[in-house]
Amino acid sequence: MGVESKPQVLVVDDARTVADTLAQILNLNGFRAVTAYSGEQALQLAGAQHFDHLVSDVVMDGINGIEAAIAICRLLPKCTVLLMSGNNDTAQLLREAEGRGHSFEILAKPFHPLAVIDQLRNSSPRYMM
């Protein structure tokens, strides 16, 4: 299996250790993961290369994970989205996104990395209207 055939994952978290560790685990389990440490950086990367999956923290300064996910889905309509959060404010942000026609999977922090791997392996392409 060549590098090109590995699913491409964009991992976004303003906690660098979380992003780097998750990307490392994904890279060791059949994915090609790239990290971003802000919503703004995630948008720049998504505009420059293709990703099959986005795994993003929700609560971040600047562009939050939900806003970044919505924008990335416009750029990459088949990109699946998995959000992660350990913050209580997430529920309100998700309701606001649903009110705008977007529904996302979310994992509560802390989570086991195998939960992310399983979600990504079992996800189907996500089409945005």
CA distance 10 to 88: 24
Angle at alpha carbon of residue 44, lines to 118 and 10, rounded to 5°:
10
Q: Output the tens digit of pLDDT for each of the chain's 129 residues.
A: 444 589 999 999 999 999 999 999 999 999 999 999 999 999 999 999 999 999 999 999 999 999 999 999 999 999 999 999 877 667 777 777 888 888 887 888 888 888 999 999 988 554 332
Going from N- to C-terminal start, the domains of the chain cover 3-120
The architecture in CATH of the region 3-120 reads 3-Layer(aba) Sandwich (3.40)
Phi, psi of 120 (to 5 degrees): -70, -40
pTM: 0.86
